[in-house]
Amino acid sequence: MKPKITIYSLGGTIAMSNESNQQGVAPRLTADDLVKAIPQLNDHAEIETNSFLKLASANLTFKHLIELAHEIEQSIARGKQGFVITQGTDTIEETAFALQLICQIKGINQCPIVITGAMRNPTQVSADGSANLLAATIIASSQESNYRGVLVAFNDQIHLPQYISKTHASALDTFSSAPYANCGAIIENQVKYFMPAHLPPLKLDQTLADDLTTMGDEIDIPILKPGIAESPSLIEMVTDSGAVGVILEAAGAGHISVPWATAIKACAEKMPVILASRAKGYLPQNTYGYEGAEIDLLSHGLISAGMLSPLKARVLLAILTSSKNKMSLNQIKTHFKAFE
C-alpha cells in the first residue's frame, strides 16, 4: 500500500512560466501541472494535489503558514501520511523554520512535511524543479522521515529548518546547512539519514496555538545591520516606532560601535532585542569585555540568538510575541536558550 501524500503548491520559481506579452516569468502553474510532469511520483505514493497559493515567496506571511498548518492538521485527520510543499526559494529558510515552530505548537510533528522549490524555472534547460519534487515526495513517503518535523529537500540534500540558509542568488547548490550539517540525502531514489530525528528542543505550550490564529499579515520586528560608522539614528527611530522587538545583526561575535551600544541598550529597556551575528556559527557570550561587545550587550538586557541566524531569530521572536498575554522577557530568553 503506497503512502497517501498531499502536495501543496505555493508558487515560486518551480511553478513559474512566461506569457508572450510579458517579460520574465511569474507564478502561474498549479500543483497538478507540476505533478503531471513527473509520472514517476506515482511509483512512490498515492498523490493528492492542492494549489494553495501562487505567490513569489517574498509575499508569504505567517498567516499563510498558519492556514497551511491547519490544512495539514485536517489532512492528517483524513488519513494523509506525508506532505510536500513547493514554494519559492527566496524565503524557504524562514518559512521552513516558521512552519516547524507552528507544527510544534500544534503538536503535528508525526508526519513528514517536506519543503522544496527550484532555482531554474520550467522554461529553462535542465530546470531542477521536477527532480526536487520527486526527491521531496520520496522523503515524505518514507517512514524514516516520521517525527523529524519539517524538512527541506534540495539538490538531493535534506536540511533541517533551523540550520538551512540560501547562500547564492542563482546557483543550483545554493542551500547549505554550514557550519552545521544537512541531516540526510537522497541516493538512488532512497532516503539516507545521517542523524537521528532532531526537533528544536522547544517547550512551546499549546496556549500559543490560539494566539497564532491572531497573527496578522504583517509583523513589526526589524533586523538592524550596521556597517562601520553607521549613525545610531535608525535605532532611535525604531525604538519610538512601536516595533514589537528588534533583531540586531551585529558583526563577528556580536559586536557594534559604542554609539550603537548606547542606543541599543536604551531600546532593550523598551522591547526584546535579540543579539545575532552577520557571521555564521554560535554566538559566544563570555569572550569580549569591551563596550559594544557581547558581554556588555548581554549584561544590558539583550538576548543571545545562540546558533540562530538573524532571519530565524526574527521568526522565533515573531511567534513568541504573537501571544495576546505578552510573554515576559525571561520567558522569551528561555525559548532562545533552547538554541544556544
Rounded to a whole number of angstroms, the distance between the first and last alpha carbons of the chain is 42
Q: Considering beta carbons, is residue 117 or 292 the nearer one to ligand DAS?
A: 117
The least CB distance from residue 91 to ligand DAS, in Å, is: 6
Q: Considering beta carbons, is residue 8 or 339 the nearer one to ligand DAS?
A: 8
**Residue closest to ligand DAS, measured at CB:** 88
Identify the H or E element spanning 113: strand 113-116
Query: Rounded to 5, what percent of the chain is helix, strand, coil?
Result: 35, 20, 45
> What single string gives the DSSP state of each residue in 214-261?
T--S----PEE---TT--THHHHHHHTTT-S-EEEEEBTTTB--HHHH
Q: Considering beta carbons, is residue 6 or 89 the nearer one to ligand DAS?
A: 89
The least CB distance from residue 190 to ligand DAS, in Å, is: 27
Interacting residues with ligand DAS (CB under 6 A): 12-13, 56-57, 88-90, 117
Judged on CB neighbours under 10 Å (0-12, 13-18, 19+), 24 is exposed
Backbone φ, ψ for residue 10 (5° rounding): -115, -5
The least CB distance from residue 54 to ligand DAS, in Å, is: 10
The least CB distance from residue 59 to ligand DAS, in Å, is: 8
The least CB distance from residue 240 to ligand DAS, in Å, is: 33
Q: Considering beta carbons, is residue 16 or 274 the nearer one to ligand DAS?
A: 16
CA dist., res. 148 & res. 197, Å (int): 5
Q: Considering beta carbons, is residue 89 or 321 the nearer one to ligand DAS?
A: 89
